Homo-oligomer: A and B are copies of this chain.
């Protein structure tokens, strides 16, 4: 990727609501030039979208956990992501190397909600799990240094 595009992506990763006017000033281009470049970055999927960074405690989801899962029966097909995608509590799903097959990042309102969610994950995806509760988040989702 080109240097100018890198600067654009970095700036929008840090502040997704930057106006094209401000963005143009930051990268030293005209407004229409940055606008065109951003559109291309979006079309090529380099910028996949935009989102508000929300305070999960404030919106009633104060409990975050990592859930490492592996198939109960390793002989069966490994389609956990499709089977779990409909659960909105699962924010992210990573396929990983190692003993576990997937690591899930989940957000729930309470320990009992976590308990219910884990039961659903177990039965829906036919897996065993090892869950690590997050106590606090010193920092999260920092923009990448490109």
Chain A residues in the interface with B (C-beta under 8 A): 1, 6, 9, 12-17, 44-56, 58-61, 64, 66, 81, 85, 88-98, 100, 102-103, 107, 132-146
Contact = CB atoms under 8 A, between A and B. Distances in A.
8 contacts: A46-B58, A48-B52, A49-B53, A88-B142, A90-B142, A93-B139, A97-B135, A100-B132
Given A139-B93, A141-B91, A58 B81 contact: no
Contact of A46 (B15, B48, B59, B144): B59
Contacts of A49: 15-16, 52-53
A86 B146 CA distance: 15
Given A45-B55, A54-B144, 20 more contacts: A9-B59, A13-B51, A13-B52, A46-B54, A46-B59, A49-B53, A50-B52, A56-B144, A61-B144, A66-B96, A66-B103, A90-B142, A91-B140, A92-B137, A92-B141, A95-B136, A96-B134, A96-B135, A97-B135, A141-B141
A97 B132 contact: yes
Contact of A53 (B14, B47, B142): B47
Which of A12, A61, A144 has the largest count of B CB atoms less than 10 A from its CB?
A: A144
A23 to B, nearest CB: 11
